[in-house]
Amino acid sequence: MNRTARWLLLLPLLLNLSCRQTAPLDTCIIPQPQETEPLGGVLNLERPLHVEIESPDSEALAAWIVTTGLPLADPSREGQPVRFPQLRLACSDDASLPESEEGYRLEITRRGVEILSRGEAGLFYGLQTLQQLYDHYGAELPCMRITDAPRFPYRGLHLDVSRHFFDKEFVKKQLRMMARLKLNRFHWHLTDGAGWRIEIDRYPQLTDVAAWRRGATWQQWRDGGHRYCRRDDPEASGGYYTKADIREVVALADSLHITVIPEIEMPAHSEEVLAVYPGLSCTGKPYATGDFCIGNEATFEFLEHVLTEVMELFPSEWIHIGGDEASKQGWKSCPKCRERMRREGLASVDELQNYAVHRINGFLAGHGRRLIGWDEILDGGLAPDAVVMSWRGEEGGRKAAAAGHEVVMTPGSHCYFDGYQDNPTTEPQAFSGYLPLRKVYAYDPAPDAMPGREWIRGVQANLWTEYIPTPEQAEYMLYPRLFALAEVAWSQPGQKNFDDFHRRALDLTERIRRAGYNAFDLAHEAGERPESLTETDHLARGCRVDYATRWRDQYAAGGETALTDGLRGSWSYGTRWQGFLDDIDVTIDLGTTKPLHEITADFIQWFSAWVWLPMRVEIAVSDDGREFRTLATLTNDYPEEAERPEYRAFGWQGEARGRYVRYRAWRNDRPGGWLFTDEIIVR
For the CB of residue 526, give the shortest distance to ligand ACM in the complex, in Å. 27
Q: Is 417 in the site for ligand ACM (CB under 6 A)?
A: no
Among all residues, whose Cβ is closest to ligand ACM?
324
Q: Beta strands 616-622 and 86-91: pairing type?
A: unpaired
Pick the catalytic residue from 257, 269, 320, 358.
269
Strand partners for 187? 158, 261
Helices then strands (H, E): number in the chain?
Answer: 18, 25
Give the H/E segment covering residue 619.
strand 616-622
**Contact pattern from residue 276 through residue 315 relative to ligand ACM, giving x for each residue in contact according to CB under 6 A and a dash for the rest:** ----------------------------------------
**Which of 302, 284, 382, 327 minimizes the C-alpha distance to 193?**
327
- The yes-or-no answer on residue 324 being catalytic is no
Pick the catalytic residue from 52, 309, 325, 350.
325
For the CB of residue 145, give the shortest distance to ligand ACM in the complex, in Å. 42
For the CB of residue 216, give the shortest distance to ligand ACM in the complex, in Å. 23
Q: Is 374 in the site for ligand ACM (CB under 6 A)?
A: yes
Alpha carbon separation from 301 to 75, 147, 159, 304 (Å, rounded): 54, 50, 27, 5
For the CB of residue 682, give the shortest distance to ligand ACM in the complex, in Å. 41
Q: What is the torsion angle, in degrees rounded to the nearest 10, for the CA atoms of residue 278, residue 282, residue 285 and residue 288? A: -110
Q: What would the DSSP string read from start to end of 268-301?
A: SS-HHHHHH-GGGBSSS-TTS-SSBPSS-HHHHH
For the CB of residue 162, give the shortest distance to ligand ACM in the complex, in Å. 12
- The yes-or-no answer on residue 265 being catalytic is no
Would you say 464 or 490 has its CB closer to ligand ACM?
464
For the CB of residue 396, give the shortest distance to ligand ACM in the complex, in Å. 11
Rounded Cα gap, residues 607 and 643, in angstroms: 5
Q: Which residues fall within 8 angstroms of residue 141, CB to CB, at 6 or more apart?
A: 42, 43, 45, 108, 113, 133, 134
For the CB of residue 451, give the shortest distance to ligand ACM in the complex, in Å. 24
Alpha helices in 117-242 (DSSP H): 120-137, 168-180, 205-208, 218-223
Would you say 325 or 351 has its CB closer to ligand ACM?
325
Contact by Cβ (8 Å): 136, 187: no
Would you say 157 or 341 has its CB closer to ligand ACM?
157
Q: Is 391 in the site for ligand ACM (CB under 6 A)?
A: yes
Pick the catalytic residue from 192, 291, 379, 422.
192
Strand partners for 458? 154, 408
Contact by Cβ (8 Å): 572, 434: yes
For the CB of residue 374, give the shortest distance to ligand ACM in the complex, in Å. 4
Q: Is 188 in the site for ligand ACM (CB under 6 A)?
A: no
Question: How many residues belong to the site for ligand ACM (CB under 6 A)?
Answer: 4
Would you say 43 or 159 has its CB closer to ligand ACM?
159
SS3 344: helix
Would you say 127 or 478 has its CB closer to ligand ACM?
478
For the CB of residue 328, give the shortest distance to ligand ACM in the complex, in Å. 15
Strand partners for 140? 44
Q: Is 525 in the site for ligand ACM (CB under 6 A)?
A: no
Rounded Cα gap, residues 131 and 437, in angstroms: 24
Q: Is 325 in the site for ligand ACM (CB under 6 A)?
A: yes
Q: Beta strands 86-91 and 50-54: pairing type?
A: parallel
Would you say 269 or 405 has its CB closer to ligand ACM?
269
**Which of 486, 517, 658 minimizes the C-alpha distance to 588?**
658
Q: Is 324 in the site for ligand ACM (CB under 6 A)?
A: yes
Would you say 113 or 415 has its CB closer to ligand ACM?
415
Would you say 60 or 415 has its CB closer to ligand ACM?
415
**Which of 144, 404, 193, 157 minimizes the C-alpha distance to 292?**
193
- The yes-or-no answer on residue 257 being catalytic is no
Neighbours of 643 (CB within 10 A): 15
Would you say 199 or 406 has its CB closer to ligand ACM?
406
Q: Is 608 in the site for ligand ACM (CB under 6 A)?
A: no
Contact positions vs ligand ACM (CB under 6 A): 324-325, 374, 391
Residues serving a catalytic function are 192, 269, 325
